[in-house]
Amino acid sequence: MRVWKERGLRPFAAHAADVVCERLPSPAADVITYIAPDGDRSVRRGHHPAGALARELGHRWSIPAASLLERTRTVARQTGLPRTERRRNMRGAFRVAATADVPPSVLLVDDVYTTGATVDAAARALRAAGAASVHVVTFARTVR
């Protein structure tokens, strides 16, 4: 995972999508979106794994992929933080882009799920903007 996320192993998104699709049926969602990239880290990485995975899944499941979320601020790195600090760090970190139209059913994609703080903050923003349901798909789950 670290090679994909930190070192730009771009072709891995297609393989990750294949693995996800082997294990999950095509969901009933109106759109697939993903955790908005953190500007500084994404520039350093040169790619955004969650966005690439969302586009690959959208292609395989014939669900449109769209960038609905944006960051409201830069957040401290989550690595090494306990659950309570992660939740505090991510609280209010996302909003729906002003030009985005949020449909009733959204599939939210992230590359790695650790405590759920990131997807929780993003799902809250999507629900506040009108999504009736937000389901989450990730490629990897960190076990602590």
The CATH number covering residue 58 comes to 3.40.50.2020
CB contact set of 108 (below 8 Å; sequence gap of 6+)? 33, 34, 35, 119, 122, 123, 126, 134, 135, 136, 137
Q: Tens digit of pLDDT for each residue in 70-110?
A: 998 877 676 767 777 777 878 888 899 988 889 999 999 99
- Total domains, the chain: 1
Range of the domain at 46: 2-141
Higher pLDDT, 67 or 113: 67
